[in-house]
Amino acid sequence: MVWEAEVEELRRRTEMSNRGGTPDRIDRQHRLGRLTVRERIDGLLDPGSFHEVGALAGLGEYDEGELVDFTPASYVMGLGKIDGRTVAIGGEDFTIQGGSAVFPMQRSKGGLGGFCEELAVEYRVPLILLIDGAGANVSATKKMGTTYLPNGGTNFVTSIEAMRNVPVLAGVLGAIAGGPAGRALMVHWSVMTRGRSAMFAAGPPVVKRGIGHDVTNESLGGSQVHVHTSGCIDNEAEDEGDAFNQLRTMLSFLPDNVNELPPAAPALDAPEGAGEKLIDLVPRNTRRPYSMYKLIRSVVDGGDYFEVKPHWGNSVITVLARVDGMPIGIVANNPLKNGGALDRDGSDKQTHFLELCNYFHIPIVYLVDVPGFMIGEQAEREGTLRSGMRAVWVGLQATVPQLTIVIRKCYGMAGMATGNPRRLNYRLGWPSGEWGSIPIEGGVDAAYRREIANAPDPEAKREEIEADLRQLRNVFLTAETFGIEEIIDPRKTRSYLQQFVERAYKVLPHELESKPLYGVRP
């Protein structure tokens, strides 16, 4: 065979590449409770589906022209399948120079831009990033012989192009800093492992040297920081296996690209008898909270849903679910958190979720119980009004079909963040609904201040005024003027959702137009 020697050399080099880092570095990775990048790819993809690209890239060591050793490039990438769907996938190999790109390459494999992301854009398939890189390595600067201006490359241009065209999902699976940390935020959805991963602009040694603070990976950028406090990362995983399951689940709700519809799944019934209990869900005492999660479980297929950002911005609940097998995005106010008042974090959470659903053609359902924006000194200092009005603005820009169901309260400017008058703005109300510019209990003191103060019995006067106004809060009076399209029996909520989903997915194929230049903002 003419080329047998070269084919044997190809086999040998591929085998050397597949080894990854040195055995001691692989052992260290495992001791930290982390998998190697190849183990991660095998754990996430359908068995045997990975087609690696660029396996021969790396640094060879030669003796008189013969290859005697080989260090692979610190990025592994290619194409594979998840539940039968083709994806582009890549990740840093932390066992090789901490995942940093220190070898001179004619073309980047991935990490920041690179061929992996170009594969996703060209073939219009989802991009999955398994991020575990330490960021820039000063030794690379010495090898290059010069420094560089960070705004001169096109790395993030490719990343933005990917976000404009295909779903981009990331798993933060190690301690990442610098560029990898930035890349983890330029995605549509992200997850990180608890206790085994961290993310920061600069790690503890740089923080100590720069500002004198003694910190650990966990205190500086663990999941408690970035999932529960900052909200930079969407979801938290118990371990890498859980992260892979969440990546698969999130992908199952998203289309391959922005020019396709979300994938359908087999339709399932709602939990038996759950809908009948909805008539008793909302207490007559408006100060008593209830669980919006019970409502969601009662109306979606199988009572099953996938929550996005479950540990942050908890005045708002954002979930992906299915009705008759078709994906929907649910934005629900949470009466168990500040009575459902829309605060800064909840507003930002809602804004990002609306952009995600709108960009990938997922119909939006609002389950409304919002007394208004969060009030008080802290809310004002946090800029709640700005974040809240941004949620209103994004909702008005959305082009997908939307349905609003008012469960209880819908007041003021925050109430404007629960629909889109630029489209049909179909609104349903439960009999427990109440709405207006401001809740009666808070508005009376402002509007009737002098009348109450001058009364012989101010408290009795306040009660008298509130009683008169409460009579006007009757949902049927609003329905008489067609101020709300329908008042419905709570037990029929799923039936209305089924009708909405059927109609929405007949409209959506005609609206697969080009999307905004900015895509979904980080």
Question: Would you say residue 459 has pLDDT above 80?
Answer: no
Q: Mean pLDDT over residues 454-465, rounded?
A: 73
DSSP letter assigned to residue 373? B
Question: Would you say residue 351 has pLDDT above 80?
Answer: yes
Q: How open is the CA angle 368-372-374, to the nearest 5 degrees? A: 120
Task: Give the pLDDT score at 465.
Answer: 67
Could you report the per-residue pLDDT of 209-224, keeping only the tens digit for each?
A: 999 999 999 999 999 9
Question: Would you say residue 152 has pLDDT above 60?
Answer: no
- Greater confidence (155 vs 512) lies with 512
Structure tokens that stand for 484 in this block: 């709300």
Of 451, 481, 474, give the one whose Cα is nearest residue 464.
451
Of 204, 179, 174, give the one whose Cα is nearest residue 192.
174
Task: Give the pLDDT score at 471.
Answer: 67
DSSP letter assigned to residue 342? B
Could you report the per-residue pLDDT of 371-415, keeping only the tens digit for each?
A: 999 999 999 999 999 999 999 999 999 999 999 999 999 999 999
Question: Would you say residue 58 has pLDDT above 70?
Answer: yes
- Greater confidence (460 vs 70) lies with 70
Task: Give the pLDDT score at 101.
Answer: 75
Q: Mean pLDDT over residues 93-113, rounded?
A: 83
8 A C-beta contact, residue 173 and residue 233 = no
Q: What is the mean pLDDT of the chain?
A: 91
Q: Band the pLDDT of 520: cuts 50, 70, 90.
A: confident
Pairing, β 305-307 against β 316-323? antiparallel
Q: Mean pLDDT over residues 119-135, rounded?
A: 94
Most confident of 136-140, 235-239, 445-449: 235-239
How many Å separate Cα 34 from the centre of its chain? 23
How far apart are alpha carbons 172 and 91 in whole angstroms?
10
According to DSSP, the residues that pair with 364 across neighbouring strands are 329, 402
Beta strands in 227-378 (DSSP E): 235-237, 305-307, 316-323, 326-333, 364-370
Q: Band the pLDDT of 440: cuts 50, 70, 90.
A: low
Could you report the per-residue pLDDT of 231-272, keeping only the tens digit for each?
A: 999 999 999 999 999 999 999 999 999 999 999 999 999 999
Of the listed ranges 10-24, 27-41, 140-154, 192-206, the one predicted with least confidence? 140-154
Enumerate domains of the chain plus CATH numbers: 36-52+74-252 (3.90.226.10), 275-438+475-508 (3.90.226.10)
Q: Describe the crossing of helices 344-359 and 384-397 by its angle, rounded to 10 degrees.
A: 20
